[in-house]
A = this chain, B = another copy of it.
Amino acid sequence: MLAQTSDQPDARQTPPTLPVPATVSPELQQAIAAPLRTDILVRPKTAREWRKLVQEADEQAAQVARLLWKQLGLTVTPSAIAGVQCFRLVPTSPLAPEGGRLLVHLHGGAYVLNGGEAATSEGALVAYSSKTTVISVDYRMPPDHPFPAALDDAVAVWQALIQEHDPAKTALFGSSAGGGLAMATVLRLKEQGAPLPGALFVGTPWVDLTKTGDTFFTNERVDNTLVSYDGMIEEAAKLYAGGRDLKDPLLSPVYGDLQGFPPSILISGTRDLFLSLTVRAHRKLRQAGVLADLHVFEGVSHAQFLTSFPSPESLEALQEVARFFDRHLAV
């Protein structure tokens, strides 16, 4: 799901053989047994090459998203908020009436993939599992709109929503690039002195656009989803940054001042190329005195706690998020 493809020949080389854990569910075993992606190792060089790649991936991901809406019984409505294209995802039996709790979703996809309807898959899972309306932000992306367009859009939607909504009842969430963007959004809101979300969920967050993190090396060619920094990931980082310093905290929020952040839940897996990014973000939050809960799933590669849905492990991860919101958001 979520733009993962697994129909490539097995390119795994190091280590030569890795047994699939016997202690995880059959559904997750299947995801773990999938060969390494090879399409993620390409390096698009021109805007034209990016557009072709993005169009193909997004069309496939949009199909998955629409199927999810149906499976999960969600009512999905496109709506512009502060001039930004968004999707409103309403579950069948919301916990609270309209005007109660609200969740704002920033999608993943390396700041270049998952535009349009494809933006909504993770939001759909969380709307369903948390029984809460989700606003999924279809923020602008490169090649046409590099940084800070995505951040501007996320902040603009947030600012518009809290005009009519209690921020203490509102969470911000996203995985991968969406997790990095969520944390950058909170940094920007802090700069502005704006009200912050009541809670934050960041899954395997892309909080450092450089190749800094031990699992970029230890989990290289072990994570079957991201595989390696050296390919599309690196190119997407540069494309998004548009010449800016990759360690700017608004691009790589692990370098920001995280004091005053809302209670946060972080999720990763033992095979995740971004495991180090996740634990570095967790430690920075804890060092800043923030309540931050970490969950790491056995054998799980990048974002596989979402893409293996409906594996028992994905349901468990989503339930952790729902419980976290129950604890930290007013209803």
Which of A's residues lie within 8 Å of B, judged by CB?
14-15, 18-19, 21-23, 212-215, 217-220, 222, 270-271, 275-276, 279-280, 282-283, 286-287, 293-299, 316, 320
Contacting pair A218 B298 (CB below 8 A): no
14 A-B residue pairings within 8 Å (CB atoms): A15-B218, A18-B214, A21-B213, A21-B276, A22-B212, A213-B298, A214-B298, A218-B218, A270-B279, A279-B297, A280-B298, A282-B295, A283-B298, A294-B294
Residues of B within 8 A of A219 (CB): 218
Residues of B within 8 A of A320 (CB): 286
Residues of B within 8 A of A214 (CB): 18, 21, 270-271, 298-299
Closest residue to A215 on the B side, CB-wise? B270
10 tightest A-B CB contacts, nearest first: A279-B296, A214-B299, A294-B294, A21-B214, A214-B270, A18-B217, A218-B222, A215-B270, A276-B298, A280-B298
Contacting pair A275 B270 (CB below 8 A): yes
A296–B214 Cα gap in the complex (Å)? Answer: 12
A282–B294 Cα gap in the complex (Å)? Answer: 10
A220–B280 Cα gap in the complex (Å)? Answer: 22
Excluding A18-B218, A21-B213, A283-B316, 17 further A-B contacts by CB distance (< 8 Å) are A18-B217, A19-B217, A22-B212, A23-B212, A218-B218, A218-B219, A218-B222, A218-B271, A270-B275, A270-B279, A276-B299, A282-B295, A282-B296, A283-B298, A286-B295, A293-B293, A294-B295
